[in-house]
Amino acid sequence: MDIESRSCANRMKRESWRTVLTLAYQSLGVVYGDLSISPLYVYKNTFADDIEHSESNEEIFGVLSFVFWTLTLVPLVKYVFIVLRADDNGEGGTFALYSLLCRHAGIGILPGGQFGDEELSAYKTRDGRLHPPSGTAAERLKRMLEEHKVLRHLLMILALLGASMVIGDGVLTPAISVFSAVSGLELSMSKEHHQYVEVPVTCLILVFLFALQHYGTQRVGFLFAPIVATWLLCISMIGVYNIFYWNPHIYQALSPYYMYKLLKKTRTRGWMSLGGILLCITGSEAMYADLGHFSQLSIKIAFTSVVYPSLVLAYMGQAAYLSRHHFIESSYLVGFYVSVPERIRWPLLVIAILAAVVGSQAVITGTFSIIKQCSALGYFPRVKIVHTSSEVHGQIYVPEINWILMILCLAVTIGFRDTKHMGNASGLAVITVMLVTTCLMPLVIVLCWHKSIFLSVCFVLFFGTIEALYFSASIVKFLEGAWVPITFSFIFMIIMYIWYYGTLKKYDFEVQNKVSLNWLLSLGPHIGIVRVRGIGLIHTELVSGIPAVFSHFVTNLPAFHQILVFLCIKSVPVPYVKPEERFLVGRIGPKEFRLYRVIARYGYHDVHKDDLEFEKDLVCSIAEFIQTGTSEQNGFMDETRKCDEKMAVVGKGVQLCEQDGEPEEDPGPSNSREIQSPLILPKKRVRFVLPKSPQLHEGAREELQELMEAREAGMAFILVHSHMRAKSGSGLIKRLVINFGYEFLRRNCRGPAYAINIPHASTLEVGMVYSV
């Protein structure tokens, strides 16, 4: 028996390692595409204007030393060994850090937060703790953040800055990557012909790349890893060849002493050249941002065993070649292709273009992902999200953003027409995102990991100093291209903040104008009007209380549905919510009123179901709430008490099963009733299947019967169309933000996710004007 157990354990261990290695191989195409193609333009940008290499090789050795230690300290030490551990239930990125802080420090400023959200399993850390121990430095830091609104807003702006720079990088990276790959044509034709070919070819490839986004990457994704692996193999082999053929002593440049010599000799020009050197770490943030697609171990293995050594060999090979070729006629020939042997330049050019497309694809997908996260958390206008793969949750397509990125990308390519300005722009975007991560990580170290403040200070001082040095070298090139990411981030941040501000003001208006429970009780069981058959579903942002639209509706219409559900679909600062924890169900008013509140909670990476699936889950949650007896224990909601104390989390105690054609005879208990949904195809039936021994009392059985009859009669969706207007006497800025900014975004953005596929015959729209 022991031998069999050991054999089974060994087999499982082999399977586990096989899975990890497979993920590591696949991550080459998804995570490391952008980082792998950086040798195409690093030396070209570094030696563009700022420094020139002389016969002493000190400049070349100094640049190589900077490249090596930057690659070692930032991607390897910072991201692989430290930042990757700061995952939000397996997810990474700027908003993953921010969501961790929202939960552990109570600094979230999204409306609709509830104490019950803290009971979600995804809220807890690995050690099961959400709040730091009392009396510790983490507890004091948490209290300081909770008490100072300015600090909370500062952290939110920092997160929005990182998100906007990621979006800006989605414009700049495809431009510089494809342009640098196509620049290999300069060695095979005259400069007069080359300048008329390079830009058109780049634009054609970019248009083709963005046009293919609609089809997703699942059909060609299997090619990504082989392309990047082939590219890394080629540049590492060329690097080894150049090292042994041109300068075997180039390894001496790995000494940090040459960095000192470079800055001492070139002074200001050497400092400004850091703006080109930092391009060697473009794409490093993707290791953290794409963490949800892979595991920490697989990303670490891929970088340390394949990507890192290949890049180091490639940069050493280029430096070895340049150290023996001091007098190159044109500065733009210092690029990657000049160090490639002539007989393999054309095949390598094709591989480089394919690798650039793969790297650009990963950045574009990452941009779609950050837009989805911002939209889910209420920081970006609602946009259409198309899931291009039914198997991989992260493969999405955002049509509006895709075409905006393409237009901006083409404008950057045609406007700059050289890698120098593109590199300055891309470098500033990259280093800004890294600085944001460095600023947020100390708080995660203290509040989430419960480590000492000393360690967090050491982290921010060490990596912050390095990145601030590169940032200063990039920002001084404002007029030489660095203004582009600043402009992009400013525009996107304005959009995000206007949408956030308008959403907050709208929620405040609904809270201040919600209907009191006493008004509802005064209407009596029939709400003072005729109750018609069916279920009425009213969407509201409120997690407690009765929305003002209800009184507005009742005042103007003489009838309402026999079952009324106030539905709140809200986002919580976690990546995913388990299906059994999604719905919070409660009762509004006495039992005879048949008024319910359902709160559906979604994480920022959750996929919203279509209307039929969501409708079934909604009815199931109410049915389980009734049959479990929770409603009897809780009575009805009291406005004077917290909503969380009067609502229950429901899972899957009551199930809906579908049958095509006429249903078979039910062998189950007599209280299993069959109902016909008006929104499903004619021969498809849906029925409730209750537990075999439900032990239901007569009141609950009657309530379930009424729910099933109402479901059979049909469900109507009451959608609220609100129009925001600033109050008279408001300041000029507020009037501009609300009356023009927010209203323009609201009119031109998508509606709620659940309302996209609702049949028009089942929809009733109610308009209201909100004076905020």
Query: Quick one: which of 115, 113, 108, 111 has its CA closest to 507?
Result: 111
Share of the chain above pLDDT 90, in %: 23
Cα atoms found within 13 Å of the Cα of residue 707, Cβ hemisphere only? 27
Q: What is the mean predicted confidence (pLDDT) over 596-617?
A: 78
Distance separating alpha carbons of residues 87 and 726, to the nearest angstrom = 40
Amino acid symbol at 428: L
Residue with tokens 């890893």: 225
DSSP element (H, E) containing 771: strand 763-771
Angle at 204 between CA 201 and CA 209, to 5 degrees: 125
- Structure confidence at residue 55 (pLDDT): 56
Tokens describing residue 222: 């299997």
DSSP letter string, 75-140: IIIIIIHTGGG--BTTB-SHHHHHHHHHHHH-----S---GGGGGSGGGS-TTS-SSPPTTSHHHH
Q: How far apart are CA 727 and CA 736, in angstroms?
A: 12
Q: What is the pLDDT of residue 567?
A: 86
Q: What is the DSSP string of 582-616?
A: SEEEEE-S-GGG-EEEEEEEE-TTPPPP-HHHHHH
Percent of the chain, pLDDT > 70? 77
DSSP 8-state class, residue 634: H
For residue 248, pLDDT beyond 80 = yes
Phi/psi zone of residue 649: left (φ > 0), alpha (ψ -120 to 50 degrees), beta?
beta
Would you state the pLDDT for residue 551? 77
412, 209 Cβ separation under 8 angstroms: no
pLDDT for position 633 = 43
Distance CA 107, CA 86 (A): 18
Higher pLDDT, 672 or 130: 130
* pLDDT over 60 at 329, yes or no: no
Residues 277-289 have a mean pLDDT of 88
Q: What is the number of alpha carbons within 13 Å of residue 400 lying toward its C-beta?
A: 11
* Model confidence pLDDT, tens digit, residues 198-216: 889 999 999 998 988 887 7
Please tell me the predicted confidence (pLDDT) of residue 374: 86
174-209 b/e with 16+ CB inside 10 Å = b?
bbbbbbbbbbbbbbeeeeeebeeebbebbbebbeeb
Mean pLDDT, rounded, for 113-135 = 64
CB 368 within 8 A of CB 398: yes
Q: Are 515 and 550 in contact (CB under 8 A)?
A: yes
Query: 485 or 601: which carries more pLDDT confidence?
Result: 485
Higher pLDDT, 122 or 477: 477
Region at 656 (left for phi over 0; alpha for psi -120 to 50; beta for the rest)? beta
pLDDT at position 673 is: 32
> Any residues with CB less than 8 A from the CB of 140 and at least 6 apart, and which?
none
767 neighbors 548 (Cβ within 8 angstroms): no
Residue range 680-728, pLDDT digits in tens: 333 333 444 444 445 667 777 788 888 888 888 878 887 777 788 888 8
Confidence band of 227 (pLDDT split at 50, 70, 90): very high
What pLDDT digit, counting tens, does each position of 238-247 carry? 999 999 999 9
Q: Report the range of poorest mean pLDDT among 19-23, 132-136, 217-221, 745-749.
A: 217-221
pLDDT at 518 exceeding the cut of 60? yes
pLDDT at 17 over 70: yes
**How large is the average pLDDT for residues 626-651?**
51
pLDDT digits (tens, 9 = 90+) for 555-593: 776 667 788 888 888 888 788 888 888 888 888 877 888
Higher pLDDT residue, 152 or 124? 152
Q: What is the mean pLDDT of residues 321-335?
A: 64
Contact 173, 363 (CB under 8 A): yes
Task: Tell how far CA 739 is from the center of its chain.
Answer: 29
3-state secondary structure 659-714: EECCCCCCCCCCCCCEECCCCCCCCEEEEEECCCCCCCCHHHHHHHHHHHHHHHHC
Q: In the numeric block, which tokens belong to residue 264?
A: 């001492």
Terminal CA-to-CA distance of the chain, rounded, Å?
Answer: 73
pLDDT of 90 higher than 50 = yes
CA separation for the pair 607, 393 (Å, rounded)? 8
Q: What count of residues does the chain have?
A: 772
Residue 489 clears pLDDT 80, i.e. is over it? yes
Instruction: Give the number of C-alpha atoms closer than 13 A to the C-alpha of residue 510, restricted to the C-beta side.
Output: 25
Collapsing DSSP states into helix, strand and coil, what is residue 769?
strand
pLDDT of 661 higher than 60: no
Judge whether residue 1 has pLDDT over 70.
Answer: no
Q: Between the CA of residue 26 and those of 221, 299, 741, what are the distances in Å?
A: 9, 10, 43
- At residue 485, the pLDDT reads 93
C-alpha to C-alpha distance for 245 and 248, rounded to whole angstroms: 7
Task: Produce one character per residue of 363-381: b if its CB has 16 or more CB atoms within 10 Å, e if not.
Answer: bbbbbbbbbbbbbbbbbbb
Of 612 and 229, which is predicted with more confidence?
229
| pLDDT at position 191 | 60
pLDDT at residue 752 greater than cutoff 70: no
Q: What is the pLDDT of residues 42-86, one digit of tens each?
A: 888 887 665 555 556 888 899 999 999 999 999 999 999 999 988
At which residue do the structure tokens 């709430």 appear? 625
Number of DSSP helices (H) and strands (E) in the chain, helices first: 28, 12
If pLDDT is split at 50, 70 and 90, which confidence band does 392 have?
A: low
For 393-423, the pLDDT digits (tens) are 566 788 889 999 999 999 999 998 888 889 8
pLDDT tens-digit series, residues 442-474: 988 988 888 888 999 999 999 999 999 999 999
User: Could you tell me which residues come within 8 angstroms of residue 72 by beta carbon, excluding any fewer than 6 positions away?
Assistant: none
Query: What is d(CA 109, CA 560) in angstroms, rounded to the nearest whole number?
Result: 36
How far is Cα 168 from Cα 431, in angstroms, rounded to an integer? 12
Which is it for the CA torsion 538, 544, 549, 553, positive or negative? positive
Q: Which pLDDT value is given to residue 58? A: 84
Tokens 């997690």 found at: 543
- Give the pLDDT score at 3: 55
With CA atoms as reference, report the closest residue to 67 among 246, 240, 225, 250: 250
**Amino acid 676: pLDDT:** 32
Beta bridge partners of 586: 597, 647
Alpha carbon 109 to chain centroid, angstroms: 18
What is the rounded CA–CA span in Å between residue 730 and residue 325?
68
> Does 678 have pLDDT greater than 80?
no
pLDDT (average), residues 663-675: 35
Query: How far, in Å, are 71, 108, 186, 350, 570 from residue 196 at the CA level?
Result: 35, 52, 11, 19, 52
Across the range 6-22, mean pLDDT stands at 65
Q: Write down the pLDDT at residue 127.
A: 53
pLDDT beyond 70 at 13: no
The H or E element spanning position 22 is helix 2-30
